[in-house]
Amino acid sequence: MNEVSSGGGPFHDKYGWDDAKRGDLIRDCLFFSQTLDKTCFRTFICSVDMTMYRKLKESCRLLPSVAEICNRFVPRQIFNWYLENFSQWKVPELYYFFDQNERFEGRFHALVKKHQKKSWAGLYNHWDTIKNVSSANMRSTLPLQLADMLAWAHHRKLTPHAKDLKWSHLHTMTDAVLPFSRKDFGAKELEVTAGYADVENIVSEYFNS
């Protein structure tokens, strides 16, 4: 999306592109997403207010990393949605694919391994339903391209550019077309997250002493 919106890389004018063609491509991707079965498709996006996050960190508040906040929130939401709609009588199997060199993948994989098989009394948790975590090449993987467009549109909504309003309302179109769940961690949510981090740290120190 960065290359398409700015006319960079393979979407440069010298390769036969112009603003009209690049705009048509984005709209075509949006129109294609309308063909998806809305009963078994949903988008999940988590974002963190970095200005507030840095302020809390400067005040010595204990906070999980940004990657950990999103890595903890999204899988739980996906699991709840999947279980509620598709798999009430058997354990679901979930597969996660990241773009190559995505910085969230390694931390997410470690989080999955850490929490799997910690259920008790024969029950399973949402981490146990994750059967595979791997990477794929976004340039040849259509679902990752769609995910990139959705994430880019949401980021554009949260960080509007006064000098460049092009595609600043793309998120309104994606939200109108596709069912979604969003969680923006602003001041209130980060304060709560910091509180949980404080508790986890105290418990950890207690059991390690």
Q: What is the residue-wise DSSP string for the chain?
A: -HHHHHT-GGGSGGGT--HHHHHHHHHHHHHHHTTS-TTS--EEEEEE-HHHHHHHHHTT-----HHHHHHHHHHHHHHHHHHHHT-SSS---EEEEEETT-HHHHHHHHHHHHHTT---TT---TTTTEEEEEEE-GGG-HHHHHHHHHHHHHHHHHS-BTTB-TTTTHHHHHHHHS-EEEEEE-HHHHHHHHHHHHHHHHHHHHHH-
Q: Could you read off the pLDDT of 51-99 as tens digits, one per residue? A: 989 988 888 667 888 888 888 888 888 888 887 887 666 667 889 999 9
Looking at residues 106-134, what average pLDDT do you find? 79
pLDDT for res 163: 63
209 has pLDDT over 50: no
Q: Would you kindly state where each structural domain of the chain is located, as residue ranges?
A: 36-194
Q: Which residue has the higher pLDDT, 86 or 202?
A: 86
pLDDT for res 124: 63
Q: Could you read off the pLDDT of 181-197 as tens digits, one per residue? A: 988 888 888 887 776 65
Q: Could you read off the pLDDT of 5-38 as tens digits, one per residue? A: 889 999 999 999 999 999 999 999 999 999 999 8
Mean pLDDT over the full length of the chain: 83
pLDDT for res 9: 92
pLDDT for res 187: 84
